[in-house]
Structures are given as C-alpha cells and as structure tokens.
Amino acid sequence: MSASIIDGKAVAAALRGRIAERVAALPFTPGLRVVRVGEDPASGVYVRNKDRAAQQAGLDSATIQLPAETSEAALLGLVRQLNDDPAVDGILVQLPLPPQVDPAKVLAAINPAKDVDGFHAVNAGLLASGQKGLVPCTPKGVMHLLKAAQVTVAGARAVVVGRSNIVGKPMAALLLAADATVTVAHSRTRDLASECRRAEILVAAVGRPEMVRGDWIAEDAVVIDVGINRLPNGGLVGDVEFAPARERAAAITPVPGGVGPMTIACLLENTVEAAIARRG
Ligand SMILES: Nc1nc(=O)c2c([nH]1)NC[C@@H]1CN(c3ccc(C(=O)N[C@@H](CCC(=O)O)C(=O)O)cc3)C=[N+]21
C-alpha cells in the first residue's frame, strides 16, 4: 500500500483563509513583532514566509532585525518595550540566539499573554496542566493536520520521537489531552526501532535527516514528520526516510509542504487568539 499524502500546504492555506476572515471581522488589527538577532540562515525562509502570510491575513506584522552583536541587555530592553506596546499582541524572538544572549532569560522576559511561540514557562505549565494558554505553533499545527486527515487520536498509540520544549514535550501534552496513549522516545531510548513500530501515530521531531527508517513504520500508521533538514547538496529532507515509510504507512506528511506551513499558520492563529484574549 502507498500512503496518502497529508498536504500541509493546502491545510495551512485553508487555515490562513479562516484566520483572514476572523481578522477582517475584528474591530482592531492584531499586531505581531518578530525579533531576529543576526542572520541564522535556517531562520531566513521562515521569517520571509511568515511576513508574507501575516500580511495576507491582514495582521500588522513586522520583523525587527538586530545586529548579531546585540547585547542581552539591549534585547531584554526591546522585549520590555514590546510588552508595554498596546498595539503589539504577539512577540516572537527567533531562535537560535547568538552566544552572548541567554535564550532562557529572553523567553522569560516576554509577557506570557503575548508569547505567541508558547515557549514561556507559564504557557508550558498551562498546557501541561490542561489549562488554556498559548500553545507552541508546530505541535498545534500537527493537531490541525491530524484533524484534517480525519485521524482518530482518542485511544490511539502515539509515539513522539524527540523531547524538546519546542516540539516533543508540548506535542506529547496535546496528544494526551486528545486521549491518545503517548510514548515519548528520544536519543537515549533503548531500541527506538521497536518503540516506533508500535506507533499507530508516529511524530518524528528529532532534527536528524532520515533518522527514522522506513522499516520502523507500522503497517497503516499515520506518520507526521516535523523535521526540516537542509542537506549539503541544498535539498530538504525530513526526520523520516520518506519513500519506504510511504510504502507502509496509511498517511504521511511530506517535507517540504507538510508541518512547516502549519507552523506559520498557527503563529497567525496564536496572534489572533492572543489579541482577542488581551483586548477582550
Ligand atoms: N522562536 C522561534 N519560533 C519558531 O517557530 C522558529 C524559530 N524560532 N526559529 C527557526 C525555526 C524554523 N521554523 C520554520 C517554520 C516553518 C518553515 C516552513 O514553512 N517550511 C516550508 C518551506 C521550507 C523551505 O523551502 O525551506 C516547508 O516545510 O514546506 C520552516 C522553518 C520555525 N522556527
């Protein structure tokens, strides 16, 4: 069997359309500010795509580009200024940050009500304890994709490979909240292959090109590939060995065109949700 392809580009376009309608009906314009320090090449595509998507959805969006040598104090000052600006509903500080800046300090400085990345400990705690808060964009996008592909999550055996604060942990929390039976596997997991083979829903978020081999995929599994890995030859691959995985799975996300576009759409969604929550 050859898996159906879960078209993240199409699902994201539909979600952005619904967001644009919501924005048009609001009595104010939600504001988003993305702060970029230096020129990490991995962030370049993301920043460009995000700016275009935000403007098309009718948001007031801008990227604030700072030099690579910006001090931690200066960045914290900018974050406080954005916290205090009533026109700004969402603040995103692009990661990674240069070595002189402690990312933990910067994330902690963002007003949790404006933390559209959902990385602040307050939002992580709200998610972990089943309360309403801002949810990290990538795992939120994965839940939208599962819904669009009509995947039954409740009762399913889900395996998340990767335990980052950005994807793995919030992904596990969302799947658990949707009543999946969740395993979080990682680089130190003994026999990762057999953990993956038990998965009815497999989410790969390890950041290593094609680390999840095709023969680790159970027959008829749903495979969500969060990885976006740039190869030395310029090509993009996911964390899953796509072609053989596709032969076994029931449904699979491609890279590019899978989870990536959903991350951007969910950033817009979070900005609108933050604006409505804060402005009433
Ligand atoms: N604070 C913060 N939050 C982030 O969410 C964040 C970040 N920092 N730093 C950088 C990474 C990277 N990231 C991407 C999101 C979407 C695509 C995306 O849309 N990719 C497309 C196109 C890829 C291409 O053509 O290169 C796709 O997968 O189809 C890529 C990368 C968000 N990040």
Residue 23 lies in a domain: no
Q: Report CA(72)–ligand 1 centroid distance (Å).
A: 24
Residue 118 lies in a domain: no
Same domain? For 255 and 162 the reply is yes
Same domain? For 143 and 248 the reply is yes
Same domain? For 97 and 181 the reply is no
Whichever domain contains 41, its CATH number is 3.40.50.10860
10 Å CB burial of residue 189 (0-12, 13-18, 19+) is middle
Same domain? For 102 and 46 the reply is yes
Residue 268 lies in a domain: no
Residue 185 lies in a domain: yes
Residue 232 lies in a domain: yes
Q: Which of 94, 114, 115, 169 is catalytic?
A: 94
Same domain? For 222 and 167 the reply is yes
Same domain? For 109 and 140 the reply is no
CA 55 vs CA 29, 87, 130, 197: distances in Å: 11, 16, 32, 42
Report the nearest atom of ligand 1 relative to the CA of 255. 28
Asked if the interface predicted TM-score (ipTM) of this complex is over 0.85, the answer is yes
Q: Report CA(260)–ligand 1 centroid distance (Å).
A: 6
Residue 43 lies in a domain: yes
Can you tell me the mean pLDDT for 171-177?
98
Q: Which of 117, 169, 225, 239 is catalytic?
A: 117
Same domain? For 99 and 154 the reply is no
131 is catalytic: no
Q: What range does the domain containing 52 cover?
A: 28-113
State yes or no: pLDDT of 192 exceeds 90: yes
Same domain? For 155 and 207 the reply is yes
Same domain? For 86 and 145 the reply is no
Which residues does a 6 A CB cutoff place in the pocket of ligand 1? 42-43, 45-46, 49, 92-95, 117, 137, 228, 236, 255-257, 260-261, 263-264
- Tokens 């359309």, residue? 17
pTM: 0.98
Same domain? For 85 and 180 the reply is no
Same domain? For 146 and 225 the reply is yes
Q: Which residue type does 11 have?
A: V
Q: Report CA(227)–ligand 1 centroid distance (Å).
A: 10
Number of domains composing the chain = 2
Same domain? For 79 and 191 the reply is no
Residue 182 lies in a domain: yes
Whichever domain contains 170, its CATH number is 3.40.50.720
State yes or no: pLDDT of 41 exceeds 90: no
Residue 44 lies in a domain: yes
pLDDT in tens, 60-99: 999 999 999 999 999 999 999 999 999 999 999 999 999 9
pLDDT at position 278 is: 97
Q: How many CB atoms lie within 10 A of CB 84?
A: 9
The domain boundary residue, chosen from 80, 113, 146: 113
**CA dihedral angle for residue 127, residue 44, residue 56, residue 54, rounded to 10 degrees:** 30
pLDDT in tens, 137-156: 999 999 999 999 999 999 99
Q: How confident is the model at residue 40 (pLDDT cuts 50, 70, 90)?
A: confident
